[in-house]
Structure formats: structure tokens, C-alpha cells
């Protein structure tokens, strides 16, 4: 949840446009669920704000995915990498 909107949608749609099979998953969620995204906007020199993005639809269930069936992994920026590393 709360990945950077642009960093999840652009790679997902770009890979699809190239003809790749792409799945989006999230721990503890299943296909058809959505994840909220965030848009971070710099305001001033050193500060940014977080605004709501879109609800990004998941295409597969995390526990059912077999990593050996994929060629790449994309982890978008935002809060999600912090959560995943913890």
C-alpha cells in the first residue's frame, strides 16, 4: 500500500505495452483487491507533501505467485519499500 503512483503505473503499463505478462501483487492481498497509491509533490526547497493517488488493482494473489515464472521484479518507490524491508 501507498507506493508512488507514477512508479507503479508507468512500469506496469509500459511492460504490458511491450507484450510482457505483468502481475501486480501485495502481501496479504489477493487478485482483484486494490492498493492505494500516493503522489509526492515538492513544495518549496526541502519539503514535499503527500497527496492521494489512484487505487491500483492487483492482478494476482501474493501467496499464489511462483517467482520462478518471472524474469523481473519491480518494487515501486513510496512507502511500500519501507514496509517490505521491515
**Separation of alpha carbons 32 and 72, rounded Å:** 22
Is 52 in contact with 77 (CB distance < 8 Å)? no
Query: Helix, strand, or coil here: 36?
Result: strand
pTM: 0.81
Instruction: Give the residue numbers spanning the domain of 75.
Output: 5-84
70 falls in which pLDDT band (50, 70, 90)? Answer: very high
Mean pLDDT of the chain: 89
Strand stretches in 3-80, DSSP E: 3-4, 34-42, 48-57
Q: Report how many domains make up the chain.
A: 1
In this predicted model, what pLDDT tens digit does every residue of 9-38 receive, in sequence order? 999 999 999 999 999 998 889 999 999 999
Per-residue pLDDT at 49: 85
Is 22 in contact with 12 (CB distance < 8 Å)? yes
Which has the higher per-residue pLDDT, 22 or 41? 22
CATH number of the domain bearing residue 53: 3.40.50.880
* Nearby residues of 57 by Cβ (< 8 Å), 6 or more positions away: 24, 32, 33, 34
Which has the higher per-residue pLDDT, 39 or 81? 39
Amino acid at each position: 500500500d501507498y507506493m508512488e503512483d507514477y512508479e507503479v503505473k508507468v512500469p506496469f503499463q509500459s511492460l504490458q505495452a511491450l507484450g510482457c505478462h505483468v502481475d501486480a501483487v501485495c502481501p496479504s492481498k489477493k487478485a482483484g483487491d486494490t492498493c492505494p497509491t500516493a503522489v509526492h509533490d515538492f513544495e518549496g526547497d526541502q519539503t514535499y507533501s503527500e497527496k492521494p493517488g489512484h487505487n491500483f488493482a492487483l492482478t494476482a494473489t501474493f501467496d499464489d505467485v511462483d517467482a520462478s515464472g518471472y524474469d523481473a521484479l519491480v518494487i515501486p518507490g513510496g512507502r511500500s519499500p519501507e514496509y517490505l524491508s521491515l
